[in-house]
Amino acid sequence: MSTIINGLTDQVSEWNYISRKIYINPFNEILLDIIITHEDGNSWIVPAFWAGEQEWKVRFSPPKHGSYEAVSRCSDTNDLQLHEVRTTLYISKYESDNQLYKHGPLQISDSKQKFKYADGTPFFWLADTWWMGLSKRLLWPEDFQLLSADRAKKGFTIIQVVAGLLPDMDSFDERGANEAGFPWKKDYLTINPAYFDMADQRIKCLVDSGLMPCILGSWGYYLLKMGIGKMKQHWRYLVARWGAYPVVWCLAGEVSMPYYLSENRDAESEQLREGWTQIGHYIKKIDPYSRLLTGHPSYIARDELTDDTIMDFNMIQTGHSGVESVKNTVKTISSELKREPSMPVVVAEVNYEGIICSNYADIQRLTFWVSIISGASGFTYGANGIWQVNKHSEPFGNSPNGGNWGGTPWKDAYRFKGSEQIGLAVKLLQKFDWWDFIFHPEWISLSGDQNNINAPFLMGIPSKVRIVYCYGPSLPWENRPLNILHIESNINYNAYFWNPRNGKKQDIGLVEANANDEWSIPVPHIFQDWVLILEV
């Protein structure tokens, strides 16, 4: 049997296989791979996914135009509807306006410290946290589309979302279901394709909005509930369903953290470290697209696996205690950037806006700016109310260990000023060659660090631009002059203050250095945190 499929480069092509054979438990009985070969000889082994009843589907994102031959390989070699079925794909070249397709898959930059697209275009990691975004708590389509449009407009590029096995609850808690139920049937006997049919619409909505899904396979402790075998099945299903889309894989949330009520935490944590490392190697083996892979940690992702080389970049979680967590963030970024092998460091969770009635816009600005200036390769925002999708009529409720993180409805939380102001900051940075920015504490007379986050943090590119963020306002009666140092004698900088609350400029004019190549920063006209920019 042979069929012909027409498609476009980088767009998801999908086709199906229907067996006449009746399988009692198709998901557990059959493995189906498709070997896809381009006319130039390059080939991919693409896993197919069970779509329900006796149907399997395959999704493929052709990286180049031309013709492809697809040959199915089924574990039941006697099933002639699934095994050795040939399909021909004719793929036309397509230029998409969607940034996620236009520039090719996400990769690590040559410096090992930033992200880029396959064509070399820099990618700024600004993520939002929707742990329960695939559940029916965030209504499809109206609420999901509303939130997606808001985040895209504000400049977010990544959405962190969990593939159904959710945090802050036990297995099969009704709060985790979507319109078709749970991702797995009771006792993890088999997958539920209908759940993923509903999730497909949400994943595609993100991609169509220009938002790259960072997909967490589950929360870490589910590995002990399901076992290695079932978790491998889960991940194979995710790769088959969503690997053809421009996504990032994240092993799990809080990778090595046992269930909240565990009475054997140390032993279980070690089991999780070893188990998730096995899962990471498995994902690397079966993913035909080599999507970037990481893990969301309790603290430092590289420490939550027995082999951190399976990760393409490092995530850190540094607390929700306001200023103290900012100090910890700066300290952790600094220490993690020194580790070998070198890899990007992404702030994956810190200081959710509104959590425990705190961490509002000023803390969001502070946390973002000092993270990026200190060398973080990306920043992840979160708002209490969004991650668990509180609704006005239905707050999330209690965590397993009692109490809850707050009842702010998500429709209030998505309007928090912090997300808007971080978006403004990213749009400012994107006016410059931000990927070349380096932390330069030696360029200012008093530099911020983990012990003094009120002092200015400075980054820049020699002879091009310098950007300073200062959380503690400069007050004229304090007689605390701040000087920019080592100003190049042959460079003419113009300076201005940039208001991190609203993006408005206050021009200063030409920077006139003294005989020591120093320039004294004037006092801003508003006593608040400020950004100073010197540009050629």
Task: Report the pLDDT averaged over residues 98-124.
Answer: 95
Please name the residue that has the structure tokens 């790769």. Answer: 239
User: Per residue in 261-313, pLDDT tens?
Assistant: 999 999 999 999 999 999 999 999 999 999 999 999 999 999 999 999 999 99
Q: Which residues contact 490 (CB under 8 A, 6 or more apart)?
A: none
User: Per residue in 413-444, pLDDT tens?
Assistant: 999 999 999 999 999 999 999 999 999 999 99
- The phi, psi pair for 309, rounded to 5°, reads -70, -10
- 303 to each of 268, 308, 309, 520, how far by Cα in Å? 15, 7, 11, 43
User: Per residue in 334-343, pLDDT tens?
Assistant: 999 999 999 9
Query: Would you place residue 480 in the very low, low, confident or very high pLDDT band (cuts 50, 70, 90)?
Result: confident
Give how far the C-alpha of residue 48 lies from the chain's centroid of Cα atoms, to the nearest Å: 25
User: Per residue in 309-336, pLDDT tens?
Assistant: 999 999 999 999 999 999 999 999 999 9
- 506 has which bridge partners? 497
CB 11 within 8 A of CB 101: yes
CB 74 within 8 A of CB 85: no
Rg (C-alpha) for the chain, rounded Å, is 25
Query: Would you place residue 3 in the very low, low, confident or very high pLDDT band (cuts 50, 70, 90)?
Result: confident
- Asked if the peptide bond before residue 141 counts as cis, ω within 30 degrees of 0, the response is yes
Query: Would you place residue 476 in the very low, low, confident or very high pLDDT band (cuts 50, 70, 90)?
Result: confident
- Separation between Cα atoms, residue 183 and residue 165, nearest integer Å: 8
User: Per residue in 185-194, pLDDT tens?
Assistant: 999 999 999 9
Q: Which residues contact 440 (CB under 8 A, 6 or more apart)?
A: 458, 459, 460, 466
Please name the residue that has the structure tokens 């880029």. Answer: 116
Alpha helices in 360-499, H assignment, sequence order: 361-374, 410-413, 417-429
Query: Would you place residue 409 in the very low, low, confident or very high pLDDT band (cuts 50, 70, 90)?
Result: very high
Give how far the C-alpha of residue 205 lies from the chain's centroid of Cα atoms, to the nearest Å: 16
Dihedral over alpha carbons 294, 299, 302, 305 (to 10 degrees): -90
Q: Which domains, and CATH codes, for the chain?
A: 2-92 (2.60.40.10), 99-432 (3.20.20.80), 438-535 (2.60.40)
Q: In this model, does residue 1 exceed pLDDT 60?
A: no
Query: Would you place residue 2 in the very low, low, confident or very high pLDDT band (cuts 50, 70, 90)?
Result: low
Encoded amino acid at 165, one letter: L
CB 231 within 8 A of CB 218: yes
Q: In this model, does residue 379 exceed pLDDT 80?
A: yes
Task: Report the pLDDT averaged over residues 492-496.
Answer: 98
CB 183 within 8 A of CB 192: yes
- Separation between Cα atoms, residue 48 and residue 231, nearest integer Å: 17
Query: Would you place residue 473 in the very low, low, confident or very high pLDDT band (cuts 50, 70, 90)?
Result: confident
